[in-house]
Amino acid sequence: MEPIDILVTNGTVLTLDSCETLIEDGAVAVTGDSIADIGPASKFSACEVKTRIDANSGIIMPGLINTHTHAAMTCFRGLADDMDLMTWLNDYIFPAEAKLTNEKVYCGAMLACAEMILSGTTCFADMYLFEDAVAEAAKNAGMRAVVGEVLYDFPSPNYGTIENGFSYTSDLMVKWNDEPLITVAVEPHSPYLCAPDLLERAEAIAAKNNAPLIIHLAETISETDKIRSVYGKSPVAHLSNIGVLSPRLVACHCVVLSDEDISLLREKDVKVSHNPESNMKLAAGIAPVPRLLDAGVCVGLGTDGCTSNNNLDMFAEMDTAAKIHKVNCLDPTVMDAKTVVRMATIESARVLGLDQTTGSLEIGKKADLIVVDTQKPHMTPMYNIYSHLVYAAGGNDVSTVVINGRQVMQDSRLVSMDLEKVMADVNRIAETIRNG
């Protein structure tokens, strides 16, 4: 066996593999960027180990995967809440976004990475402007990320006309091709802000590069009404009609779906990103996730941007995901804790096309893992590990984070960035936003 760079030991290993393997008093051995071995802690007692991480009888599990966010919106966190969507967008968000720069997006994304790592997220999919800066931030923070420049019919504060948007996307693909942490996606905003030719072209580029195509889809009733009035079809049927549905498509939100829409999503193996807290806060509606799961659609979890959440804590998102569907279906057995933990890990990896890379602890996969500290009052006693992760834990219970074999958080502290500076940078940006 190769020398072990990192041994995470003395914890319950929750692998989230297809057999749902769980090893009490287990350990995970990391060599280079990958998982070299997994087993009982005793197996490794004689091994030479460079760095030993004591899980303190906690949970050793794959890092959580946030399938949909707009990381740099941390700059606007809490700027405008509890208001009508159009007031929020037109009076607050769009004017603020018009003044964005590469530097501001970098700073906002670094803050998002800090928050995500601290709360146990090891990978995120981002859609925003100036995505080169997001990739840079993710790389520097040591996070795995799927990035993609948002594309729409009107001029972008970053690239101007859509022609430039496509070349910006191609440039991203070239620039980040060799960076193991970064995947570049093609990201048309939505069927209501993207004409069919934009969508078709985006899909062609994604297909050619075997890249994810990420889009907001069927988020609100008003969107659905609008698409129906223009195209005579539901948003899903409209995308089907122009040939954009595929296993590489990541459809974010999917709140307003008919049975026919669900069949189409299943038939084309489209992936869904579920964002319950955002859908609740913006009063969009409740996505029919239990019906999607029953139909066999692959669903991952996401926080959406932190202006509509307002944090990036995937543990809180798991809790909400488990509860909202119970009350919506008036059935306490739907969305059980195990289903939700899988949704936030291996299923989210599958959504992003990264399930061969991350999302579970398996030999040969990249070492993206976290340790959850269970020696806390709100995690005591322990009867069921999945219940605790979903209903009792919070992001703050994460003590250790390893991404791609690199320990980026140690003893609940970030080691991959200067957190004080990252917060100060965004506070300075907020000052300019406050002053208009």
**252/274 Cα distance (integer angstroms):** 6
Is residue 320 at the binding interface for a second copy, with CB under 8 A as the rule? yes
For the segment 117-156, give every residue that binds a second copy (CB under 8 A): 118-119
Strand partners, 59: 12, 372
Q: Which residues of 244-263 are buried (b: 16+ CB within 10 A; e: fewer)?
A: bbbebbbbbbbbbbeeebbe
CB under 8 A: which stretch of 47-55, 130-138, 208-216, 280-288 binds a second copy? Answer: 280-288
- Could you say whether residue 45 binds a second copy (CB under 8 A)? no
In whole angstroms, the minimum distance from the beta carbon of 142 to a second copy comes to 15
* 218 contact partners, CB below 8 Å, separation of at least 6: 224, 234, 235, 236, 251, 253, 254, 255, 256, 257, 261
Told to check if 333 binds a second copy by CB under 8 A, we report yes
Under the binding rule (CB under 8 A), the answer on residue 422 touching a second copy is yes
Q: How far apart are CA 120 and CA 372, in angstroms?
A: 8
**CA–CA distance, 40 with 27 (Å, rounded to integer):** 6
Binder among 13, 114, 133, 194 for a second copy (CB under 8 A)? 114
| Binders of a second copy in range 212-241 (CB under 8 A) | 221
Give the pairing of strands 299-301 and 271-274.
parallel
282 is a contact residue toward a second copy (CB under 8 A): yes
> From the list 52, 281, 291, 406, which residue makes contact with a second copy (rule: CB under 8 A)?
281
Q: What is the DSSP letter of 76?
A: G
The least CB distance from residue 29 to a second copy, in Å, is: 29
Q: How are beta strands 299-301 and 121-126 bridged, if at all?
A: unpaired
Give 18 or 333: the residue with its C-beta nearer to a second copy.
333
Cβ atoms of 5 and 31 closer than 8 Å: yes
The window from 36-44, 115-123, 124-132, 224-232 that contacts a second copy (CB under 8 A) reads 115-123
Vertex 96, ends 92 and 99: CA angle to 5°?
A: 160
The nearest distance, CB 276 to a second copy, in angstroms, is: 9
Region of 3-11, 73-81, 128-136, 293-301 interacting with a second copy (CB under 8 A): 73-81
Question: To the nearest whole angstrom, how small is the minimum distance from the Cβ of residue 248 to a second copy?
Answer: 30
Which residues, 6+ apart, have CB-to-CB distance to 239 below 8 Å?
191, 199, 215, 217, 245, 249
Closest CB to a second copy among residues 264, 392:
392
Question: Smallest gap, in angstroms, from Cβ of residue 32 to a second copy?
Answer: 29
Over its C-alpha atoms, the chain yields an Rg (Å, rounded) of: 21
Question: Which member of 170, 329, 406, 415 binds a second copy (CB under 8 A)?
Answer: 329
How many residues interact with a second copy (rule CB under 8 A)? 71
> Judged by CB under 8 A, which stretch of 18-26, 33-41, 45-53, 80-88 contacts a second copy?
80-88
Does 391 contact a second copy by CB under 8 A? yes
Q: Does 83 bind a second copy (CB under 8 A)?
A: yes
Kindly identify the residues of this chain, within the stretch 338-377, that bind a second copy according to CB under 8 A: 375, 377
Q: Is 299 in the site for a second copy (CB under 8 A)?
A: no
Residues constituting the chain: 436
Q: Quick one: which of 186, 158, 188 has its CA closest to 170?
A: 186
Which DSSP helix (H) or strand (E) runs through 407? strand 406-410
